[in-house]
Structure 1
Amino acid sequence: MTAPLKVDIWSDIACPWCYVGKRRFEEALVAFDASGAARPVEIEYHSFELAPDTPVDFDGSEVDFLAGHKGMPREQVVQMLGQMTEVAASVGLDYDFDALQHTKTLKAHELLHHAKAHGLQGELKERLLRAYFVEGRHLGRIDDLVELAAEVGLDADAARAVLESGELAPAVAQDIAQAQAYGIQGVPFFVVDGKYGVSGAQEPAVFVQVLEKAASDADEPADQATSTRG
């Protein structure tokens, strides 16, 4: 049986480009699978906090956060979010930045590690991104995260216990350390078969090209990820 290609994806649930990148990569997987020479693909998500100093309960809008955090004029932020909304719409996502509740994402990342252990990481990743960007849900509070965990089939009591204990915080830190070792400074970042790195929410054709390259020389020894930056 053909061994799957492993794709490791560093992302943050508070990253609008990460959701767009997810959709574009999913489109690429469909094309790759239809190519005939495709191999199965195994996906694992890894933690990355874009703004680790964000409070759990940020008092303000997304415009307030970006204007303060990045030092950008408010008018420029509003324009940027409008453009991001249009990009998201182009891949079928209905972003609502007015409803978005900016928060610290550490607990969400801990929950994703918990979901991985139960084979539901992909389902939870999709649910968290939709909850954050489309539904305006608060993803920094344990109660809200437990509710979303239950929606994808995780045991609510077990999820709560993991989040309250903080036992998976070291796993989040390990992911971030690995990102630093790869030289990752922004997300999304895709590492294909441990050898090829793709930075950013690239168009599907870029992902297909990298997947095909990885499939063609999958028997070569893995080396340090090489970046393809847009």
Structure 2
Amino acid sequence: MSVKVTYYSDVLCIWAFVAQARVDAIKEAFGRDVAVDYRFVAVFGDARTKIAAAWRDSGGAEGYNKHVMGIARRFPHVKVDPRVWIDQQPASSAGPHLFLAAMRGLEPAAGNAVASGAPSRLESVMWAFRRGFFEEGRDIGRWDVQAELAKPFGVDIEEVSDAVHNGTAFSRLSADYAEAEKLKLEGSPTFVLNEGRQKLFGNIGFRIIEANIREMMREPNVDQASWC
């Protein structure tokens, strides 16, 4: 039986963009022994107001841009548009989260089972959204941009739209946000194991994540808290 790792993130979070390398490393190291369940947390639900308020006395959007670029320079495996958050300020991360939540419900029916180690369609589109914003400076809060980024991966945009309009995508996303609050998550990204007993938040090194997963494999009984 595989170990379940629930991964909460906000697609507009620079730390989640950086942490994708950790997610990839988990998949490479453990293969089918670990199942990553992607969920969303609302950090940039009202992105423009959040940045304007938090950075009002520190340069506003330009100040936040400098902060993000400072983080990016520490991690050579990521590329970030030097004008990020200045030229394009998505109104909310809820839009891309909703699109991805719709995909998450459709993915089993869409035949997206893949070989071990290969990215699923959901993973590919999620990464395309993150890259679209951070690398290419695109407004991924917009539906048309989301659809354009998703189409190359064979996503049926009409099916995604139907899931949005019939409410099922909203239901899934609402459940994500509610569970994040129930777990009292501090933000994005957060790895959750052992039914919420273990929460690894922020810029966590791969070895720490690996140790927690291996402890779960050693003692998979969810009624017993891990000491790792």
Q: TM-score, normalised by structure 1?
A: 0.79
CA distance in 1, matches of 2:161, 2:213: 37
Pair 1:105-2:89 in alignment? no
2:12 is matched with 14
1:100-139 equivalences under 5 Å are: 100=85, 101-103=88-90, 104-117=92-105, 118=107, 119=112, 120-139=121-140
1:140 is matched with 141
**Aligned match for 1:50, one of 40, 43, 56:** 43
After superposition, the CA RMSD in angstroms is 2.7
Cα pair distance change 1:99/1:199, threshold 3 Å? closer
- Kindly indicate whether the alpha-carbon contact (under 8 Å) linking 2:133 and 2:140 is maintained by their aligned counterparts in 1: yes
Shift of 1:26: 2.1
Cα pair distance change 1:86/1:124, threshold 3 Å? same
**Structure 1, unpaired ranges of 5+:** 59-63
CA distance in 1, matches of 2:69, 2:81: 10
Shift of 1:88: 3.6
Letter in 2 for 1:109: H
Shift of 1:201: 2.5
Letter in 1 for 2:103: A
1:96 is matched with 81
Shift of 1:134: 0.7
Q: Deviations over 1:100-156 (max 9, x none)?
A: 422211121111112222143212211111111111121111111112221222112
1:155 is matched with 156
Cα pair distance change 1:139/1:52, threshold 3 Å? same
Cα pair distance change 1:43/1:128, threshold 3 Å? same
- Kindly indicate whether the alpha-carbon contact (under 8 Å) linking 1:12 and 1:105 is maintained by their aligned counterparts in 2: yes
Cα pair distance change 1:97/1:177, threshold 3 Å? farther
1:171 is matched with 172
- Kindly indicate whether the alpha-carbon contact (under 8 Å) linking 2:14 and 2:68 is maintained by their aligned counterparts in 1: no
Shift of 1:178: 0.6
CA distance in 2, matches of 1:47, 1:4: 22
State the SS of the aligned residue for 1:95: coil
1:172-191 equivalences under 5 Å are: 172-191=173-192
Letter in 2 for 1:208: E
* Amino-acid identity (%): 19
- Kindly indicate whether the alpha-carbon contact (under 8 Å) linking 2:11 and 2:129 is maintained by their aligned counterparts in 1: yes
CA distance in 2, matches of 1:208, 1:27: 9
Letter in 2 for 1:41: V
- Kindly indicate whether the alpha-carbon contact (under 8 Å) linking 2:186 and 2:201 is maintained by their aligned counterparts in 1: no
CA distance in 2, matches of 1:188, 1:196: 14
- Kindly indicate whether the alpha-carbon contact (under 8 Å) linking 1:108 and 1:145 is maintained by their aligned counterparts in 2: yes
**Structure 2, unpaired ranges of 5+:** 113-120
1:206 is matched with 208
1:87 is matched with 74
